[in-house]
Structure 1
Amino acid sequence: MRHHQGLRLLSVTALLVAGTLTQPEPAPAGERAVYVTNSESSDISRFVVDAATGRPILTGDRVTAGPGVRQMALTPDARLAYASNAGNGTISAYKIGPQGRLIPQATVPTGGDTPLGIVVTPGGRFLYVAHVFSRSVAGFAIAPGGRLSPLSGSPTQTSVANPRGVAVTPDGRFLYVGHGDPGPDRLNSIGAISTFAIKTDGTLTEIETPIRLGRFCGAMTIVPDGSRLYLTCSDTSEIHGFAIGADGALTALPHSPYAVPTFPEGIIASPDGRFVYVASPAPGTGGTPPGDGAVSGFAVGADGALTPVRRSPLPAGIGPVGITILPDGRFLYASTGDPRDDGLDGALSAFGLDAAGTMRPLPGSPFPTGGVGPAYGSAAVLPDQGPVASFTPRVVAGRTVTFDASASTDPDGQVARHHWTFGDGTSLTTAGPRATHTYPRAGTFRVTLTVTDNEGCSTALISTGQAVLCNGTPAATTARDILIR
């Protein structure tokens, strides 16, 4: 008897305006904002990058920041941005508009001296900033409208002086602080890294004895799976690598520390965790030799040890210091001085990255920022927002079903890949939104669709310790049960 074929369904990003949430204007597909802070001109430059070619285009006027502006931290949902102002002990707060445009909001005192490193937790609820000369880390709760409220007991004192850099594990449970003395005793100082547990209310508790190492340390990156941390120590020209335990404890990686060209400062892990890149300004301070500086790349071994990639290091303007990477890991950017005017003005060096992590300077690099004086942590990228999966099935003949995912969307790009599992042990990946499948028998089958956008963002949140690159979401996958008769 021939079964009658039937089918039954059994289951089935934003801007902040005046403190309220509204639906965002769709971003042009394939664009990504990259920012450079300019400490001497006290402002922020914005580039719009073509995600296909990596070429940055300086866009709009520079946006005012505080004196001595340093690092930026952006919320994972790409709605808010904050910048530390070392010159007056404040944070500049911004809402983020179309194409990453910064809309100034408020200036918030940090409660300490010389705020430098700044980070937002991967969940977007808390912000932390290190005070170089106050021996403390300030913590803030981030309200839905972007307002910062000091956490109870903030600032938190650190047991080691001169906190500079901060990084948070991808699960938001631990905060690490890199220390370095920029004062008159610098040449006799020893750097450090300290560990704090982040409680559910955002307050901090130091949980490990600080590890003393190197000299003038600070910037850190954490690979996206949260297993390893890498810390730059500038005066000793090295990277210290650590395995991160389940309790947040740090254990030195094999062969750590790793040598890196003169005065490493900025550091970033690739989105897949296979590479680490470092910006070295070579300023001739802290007993290090002067030079133009460079960007270096390292492959991360199975044991976490670093080895230089081919053709590393490469020149990157004069004094490259901040460094960031696009969410798909194909392009790298370093804030630097423009060699066309002896480094007096700011610029952005741009590199393409191949599958082996090798860097390739882009034509026209470095690109002028229009600002002056990029400094610590002065390059940042707008987080990519994950896509939303949706599909409808339709019987075409017998047990053959066509699935249409045209209703899937991406708030800041386009859906580029559709992965289907049909519930009968088979699967299919397509670039286009439609798939056809013939079932071998009658029954109930759960069909699952997972979508990925044009920058590789899907269900997973991808964080590098200092920033979220991809704000992945469970909404990138959806499932429906179908009954085949």
Structure 2
Amino acid sequence: MRYLGAALVVATLVLLGIVPTATATATAAATATAATPPDDTGRSWEVAAARWDFIRGPGSTVYTGALAFLNVDDGSVRELPWGDYAPGDVAYAPDARTLYTVGLISIGDTIFDAEVHLAAHDASSGDVRWTVPLSDSQERLAVSPDGSIAITTNDRIDLTTRQVVPFDACGGTVNDGPIDVAFSPDGSTAWIVCRFRDPDRAELRAFDPATLDLLRTIELAHDVTGRIALTPDGSTAVLSGARLNLPVFNQRAVRVDLATGAVADIATDSSFMLGSISIAPDGTRAYLSVQQASDDSQDSLWAVDIATMTLAASGPLENYGTHPIVTPDGAEVFATGYGPWGEAGERAKAISAHDAATLTPLGATPPLPGAENLAVTPDQAPVARLTASEPNSPVTFDASASTVEFGSIAEYAWDFGDGVSTVTTTPTVEHEYAEPGEFTATVRLTSSGGTSTEDVYTGHQLLRNGDASAVATVTVTVPEPAVPGSGVAGELPPAGFNGATWVIAGIGMLLTGALAVVIVRRRVQPQRKDA
């Protein structure tokens, strides 16, 4: 009986040992290295507008201004005014936490008593964090793709140490000078538009941002008075407000091949093109404004096909000297401009929204007097987090703990490590591995703004701040399948197999057999005594 009990224990352990439950574990091979984003996940982009004006008093005229922030989703506007600072050009840091402006601080009683400063603002509140004085006559601003330096038309600023290095980009006479500045998308070059008089012409000058050495010069026959932007691949520059000859109103947009210096353009019909220029995230279109010179008729917002330098779309725009900016997803274009004339003969500026494909007007803000240059919040890469279930058949992969700062997560691109991949719009997916082994599964996220691991930069600031945080991996170990009832490798049982039920049944059969043996022996023994 003791021998039978020992055999029963051994049989039970054998049965437990061959139950084909999944014993492999899913372990994270690499987790997102980016810090957890703040609680304000899924928030809206904002369009920041620099506003400036004068305050005229008895015997004095001083600068004043404000920052206005337009919520792209709901159209609401918030403002932060200053009594003695008038911001001009504006650009965001790559992480969207800081907004930089170049502006004027009044130090006396006239508009000539002012200093040019670079100011760093908290992007959420608009509050000034710090300022540094710059050279005189600063108008334009660009922040490098990595956010380490800013370049204006006369200074380079280290944004960590706040060290300012003045430089003369264009030289020439007092009537010559820089018009605008833009970084190449890789940050290796700062392109400055130099305008020269007598004769009227322009040059694109390339500088090393680290040393400020002049790298090369592209001469243009055009006289350029507008702005510059670059395609995201860094191959092409587009300039606004150019002309080849008289009349001065016959202005045009110019495309420059930055490798060869080849030039193509598209001309307006007796119009100005004084405002800024914005490039679509995919690099196919340039957005700019056209202002009629002959009368007070309707002005236009243009979308120019960069490859062919033809007009792709045009929409009505009540403005003069507008500054369009495109959203990170490429869906909308915002522009500053004047509204219609009021009864008292005044025209107030506002920010208008337009469909990027057709340039159809979508609406406008209330009046924002003095609004000029615009910047849009850079979209941020999602932060991917990935887990996997035990490697049953199939394995469930779950990225629902992933987060994104702006908008939502629009796409999950899965690679299961066995040659199979798929794309979903939901954070969970199932996959069945055909063979045992160790597999590294990967998910790559893309935000609703189009941001994943790659940056999109068009000259003045990032549109999309890509990062490796958009990718997460997990390692899954799929075991050799087992054959029920034996200790050897074989085929896994069909779906729905309950190992615990079979163990109990096996133990029950063994116990029943043992009981039968005992009963038989007890019945036979008395007969032997009677004999």
Question: Is residue 33 from structure 1 mapped to residue 46 from structure 2 by the alignment?
Answer: yes
State which structure, 1 or 2, has the greater radius of gyration over its C-alpha atoms.
2
For residues 50-71 of structure 1, the C-alpha deviation after alignment (integer angstroms, 9 at most, x for no partner) is: 44xxx5321244456734x321
Question: Following superposition of structure 1 onto structure 2, how do residues 435-446 of structure 1 map, counting pairs within 5 Å?
Answer: 435-446=429-440
Which amino acid letter does the alignment assign opposite residue 57 of structure 1? Answer: S
SS at match of 2:53: coil
Aligned position for 1:263: 272
For residues 2-59 of structure 1, the C-alpha deviation after alignment (integer angstroms, 9 at most, x for no partner) is: 98742442622xxxxxxxxx987433625111112223354234233344xxx53212
Q: Which runs of 4+ in 1 moved over 6 A?
A: 1-4
Aligned position for 1:338: 339
* 1:429 counterpart (420, 423, 426): 423
Distance 1:45 1:33 in 2: 12
Which amino acid letter does the alignment assign opposite residue 326 of structure 1? Answer: T
Contact 2:89-2:141 at 8 Å conserved across structures = yes
Question: 1:168/1:197 Cα in 2 relative to 1: closer, same or farther (>3 Å)?
Answer: same
Question: 1:484/1:260 Cα in 2 relative to 1: closer, same or farther (>3 Å)?
Answer: farther
% identity of equivalent residues: 23
For residues 246-285 of structure 1, the C-alpha deviation after alignment (integer angstroms, 9 at most, x for no partner) is: xxxx5225xx122246222211101111211112344x4x
SS at match of 1:412: coil
Aligned position for 2:257: 243
* 1:171 counterpart (175, 186, 190): 186
* 2:126 counterpart (90, 96, 102): 102
Aligned position for 1:83: 101
Contact 1:119-1:166 at 8 Å conserved across structures = yes
Question: 1:97/1:72 Cα in 2 relative to 1: closer, same or farther (>3 Å)?
Answer: closer
Distance 1:453 1:38 in 2: 31
Which amino acid letter does the alignment assign opposite residue 359 of structure 2? Answer: M
* 1:48 counterpart (64, 70, 85): 70
Distance 1:189 1:330 in 2: 41
Distance 2:68 2:40 in 1: 15
Distance 2:415 2:189 in 1: 36
Contact 1:175-1:198 at 8 Å conserved across structures = yes
Distance 1:346 1:62 in 2: 16
Contact 2:300-2:317 at 8 Å conserved across structures = yes
Question: Following superposition of structure 1 onto structure 2, how do residues 152-231 of structure 1 map, counting pairs within 5 Å?
Answer: 154-159=166-171, 161-180=176-195, 189-199=199-209, 202-231=210-239
Aligned position for 2:290: 280
Aligned position for 1:381: 376
* 2:312 counterpart (309, 312, 316): 309
**Aligned alpha-carbon RMSD (Å):** 2.7
Distance 2:296 2:171 in 1: 32
Looking at secondary structure, tell me which structure has more helix per residue: 2
Distance 1:360 1:158 in 2: 39
Question: 1:296/1:196 Cα in 2 relative to 1: closer, same or farther (>3 Å)?
Answer: same
Aligned position for 2:326: 325
Question: 1:471/1:174 Cα in 2 relative to 1: closer, same or farther (>3 Å)?
Answer: same
Which amino acid letter does the alignment assign opposite residue 236 of structure 2? Answer: R
Where structure 2 has 5 or more consecutive residues not aligned to the other structure, the ranges are 1-17, 55-63, 105-110, 243-247, 480-531
SS at match of 1:257: strand
Distance 1:223 1:298 in 2: 13
Q: Deviation of residue 171 (structure 1)?
A: 0.1
Distance 2:82 2:48 in 1: 10
426-435 vs 207-216, which moves further: 207-216
SS at match of 1:192: strand
Distance 1:65 1:327 in 2: 33
